[in-house]
Every structure is written in structure tokens, then in C-alpha cells.
Amino acid sequence: MPTAGQHNVDASCIIVAICGSDTLARCIERIRELRPPPREILVCAADAFEIPRDIEEAGDLKIVRVRDDSPVALAAAGLAAATGDVIMLTEDHCLPVSGWIRELSSALGDSPRIAAGGPIDPGKDGTSFDWAFFIVDFFRYVPPVTGGPAESLSVCNVAYRRATLEEIRSEWSPGFHETRVHELLKARGQLWMVPGATVTSLRRVGTKDGVRERFTFGWLFAAKRFRSGDSTRRIAFAVGSLILPFVLFGRITRRCFAEPALAKRLIMCSPYVMLLVLAWSLGELVGYITGKAPSSSPAAKNRSGVSGSQAVNA
């Protein structure tokens, strides 16, 4: 681990491990190469996630194990264990650019900015389903993006002040739901987009696993969106979820058609995009009706034969 004199930002970098050991190893390697480096690197993984022994025993990593396999539980555990003044959050399928910590921490230097994040690049290859899965998840953050105040940021590429997160700890400690957390943060200041702080996503999941994840995450999102007693709003949103696939597809289309290359990709993978937004919408419907979260909500792992060495632009 770098000594105190080697980095000028007191940063903790949290890696949420969801995709697989190969992808995690590649992400750790990239984080170690960052300049300036983080003061600490935390790997947050479910008990069942296989971490290679050389990673598990590395002296420069803090391994945080969680019984719950949901990414929201993993992120919450990482935030609780982090000790840096600035907390960087990403997932194991992401490779940040070399100046990632400097770019995001500098953006937090102005007090109105409460969180800073950057764009997410899709890499250079992938199947039609890979592109659909990426677009559905990250269409708001595909470069080029406009720097400045942002309506949303992704937990795959974001930095927070730890002191600010501590003010709302009771909201995220049971599970880090980014929509709820960012709504609370926006009431305190600005979310800030930093175009130069790019990460490249290496997620390459199977079709069945990807559809299942979208359904489960939609269910989880809806179940946690409102307080348990807010039945009127749940019913209203359940009715609205019937048209949600078309709303989501429209948002995705408007964003993609602003960039010719992305529009071409969307046209090629649009059936898969519609399948994924339908799965999410059905999940939301279940969440609003039941008001209960799914018993398990793991992220889809990278499909067999795909490692972190593939599909890299950064």
C-alpha cells in the first residue's frame, strides 16, 4: 500500500465484486496503478464469491465479506468500512482512467458539490445482447457527456465525501439504493458530472442471467422506493408500471439517437433492449404490489469464457 506521502487525496476506493474473479483481478490491478493512488482499497464480496487466494492474502487490500449477495448490501458494507475523507465507489467490471481519483476528488473541492461522477464507456466489442444490457443500464452516462450539474450519477463511477454520507447513514446502512441516496444528497447540494473521469465497463453476462437480473433489480427498486405504509403511491406506481417499458424505451432512444454511433448500436440490439426494459418493468410491478423485496437479488456474473482482459478501450 502506498505510504502517506505518495498520495495527496485521502481516498478510499470501494470495489463491489459481482462479476467474477478474473474481472475482479483486472479491476484491482487497474486501481493499484492509479495516480494518485487511493489510501485504501476495499473489496466487498458476498460470502459465496470466489476470491483468488493471492487477492485474499494481499496486504494492500481490505476484504469485506457480506452474507447478502445483493450489490446494495455490498456497497453499504463497503461504505461502512471505508475510512477515507473521500470515498470512491465502483464495481469489479469497471476500469477507471489513470487520473480517476484526481478528477473526481478535485470536483468535490467546491462545497456546493455533494457527489461527483463520470461517464461509463462500453468498451470495444460485444454481442448484440451485451450492447443492449449496457445501454439499458448506462445510457445516461455514455460518453460524450456534459460536465456540470447532473440529475443522476452511477454507483459504478462516483465519489462522495464520507462526512456527508455519515449524515444520512441511517438511509443507506440497510442497503445502498443509489436513487434514494442521491435524492437525499441533491437536497444538500449538487451532483456533478466530470467528463474526464471515465470508467470502461466489462460486463458480459448471459441472456437469461441478464434478464433475470433486470427483473430482480426492478423488483428490489420498487419494493424499497416508498415507506411500508405508503400504499396509495404504491398502487399508483403499479398502474404506471404497465406503460413503463415504453417510457424507458423512449428515454433510451432519445439519448442514443443524439449520438450516431450509439443510435446504430441501438437499432441492432433493440429487441433485446425492449426485452430488458420489459423485465425491469415487470419487476417493478411485483415490487409495488407486494411491497416486499426479493429474498435474494444477486447480480449476474460474467458469462463463462469472458475475462477482464477483453473489451478494453481505456
pLDDT digit string (tens) for 4-17?
445 568 999 999 99
Quick one: angle between helices 260-290 and 128-138, nearest 10?
70
pLDDT digit string (tens) for 141-189?
999 999 999 999 999 999 999 999 999 999 999 999 999 999 999 999 9
Omega of the bond leading into 119 within 30 degrees of 0 (cis): no
Q: What is the mean pLDDT of residues 88-97?
A: 97
Q: What is the mean pLDDT of residues 268-279?
A: 98
d(CA 7, CA 181): 28
Residue 228 pLDDT: 60
Does the structure show a pLDDT above 60 at 73?
Answer: yes
Tell me how far apart the terminal alpha carbons of the chain are, to the nearest angstrom: 24
Q: What is the mean pLDDT of residues 51-70?
A: 92
Answer yes or no: are the C-beta atoms of 76 and 175 closer than 8 Å.
Answer: yes
pLDDT digit string (tens) for 218-264?
999 998 887 666 778 888 999 999 999 999 999 999 999 999 989 99
d(CA 207, CA 221): 21
The fold adopted by the segment(s) 9-118+153-201 is Spore Coat Polysaccharide Biosynthesis Protein SpsA; Chain A (3.90.550)
* This model's pTM is above 0.85: yes
User: Where exactly are the structural domains of the chain?
Assistant: 9-118+153-201, 207-290
